[in-house]
Each structure stands twice: as C-alpha cells, then as structure tokens.
C-alpha cells in the first residue's frame, strides 16, 4: 500500500464504485433514448422537486412529475 492510508484507499474504492455505477446508468439512459423513450434525471443545479426530462431527439424540459402528466416548467 505504500504511503496510502486505509482511509484514502476506502475513498478511492468508493470513487471507482461510483464511477462504475454512473457508467451503467449512462448506458441504460442511452439505451432508453435509443428505444424512443424519454429519460428523467437531476443535475446539481436542478431545483428541488423538479426533474429534467430529456427526449430521444435531444430536447430537454424542466418538469414537475405528476401521475396525471408532467407539468412543464420550461424548455431547457
């Protein structure tokens, strides 16, 4: 392990695990869009209670999800 501490190894393992998970989600998102289905996600600056809805053609909207239908807040 050299000069690395146990804590830094744990942090590094966590980072690699998170990157692997993000890569899997990215693959699933691309597959979903390729199938013609929009995806929902949040970015760091997405307001609380809102989501970004991305369509297969690439356009995106800021929406409030509702079982009766999404409420479009604005186009992005």
pLDDT digits (tens, 9 = 90+) for 19-49: 565 566 788 888 888 899 998 989 889 999 9
Q: Are residues 18 and 46 in the same domain?
A: no
Question: Containing H/E element for 6?
Answer: helix 6-34
3-state secondary structure 11-28: HHHHHHHHHHHHHHHHHH
| Single pTM value for the model | 0.68
Task: Transcribe 10-70 into DSSP letters.
Answer: HHHHHHHHHHHHHHHHHHHHHHHHHTT--EEE--TTPPTT-EEEE-TTS-EEEEE--TT--
Q: Are residues 53 and 21 in the same domain?
A: no
When comparing pLDDT for 18 and 61, which is higher?
61
Q: Please tell me the predicted confidence (pLDDT) of residue 25.
A: 75
pLDDT digits (tens, 9 = 90+) for 40-74: 989 889 999 999 999 999 999 999 998 899 999 99
Q: Please tell me the predicted confidence (pLDDT) of residue 11.
A: 58
Parent domain of 25 = 1-36
* Number of domains observed in the structure of the chain: 2
């Amino acid at each position: 392990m050299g000069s690395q501490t146990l804590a830094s190894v744990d942090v590094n393992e966590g980072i690699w695990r998170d990157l692997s998970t993000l890569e899997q989600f990215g693959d699933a998102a691309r597959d979903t869009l390729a199938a013609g289905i929009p995806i929902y996600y949040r970015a760091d600056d997405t307001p609380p209670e809102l989501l970004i809805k991305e369509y297969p053609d690439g356009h995106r909207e800021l929406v409030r999800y509702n079982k009766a239908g999404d409420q479009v807040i604005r186009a992005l």
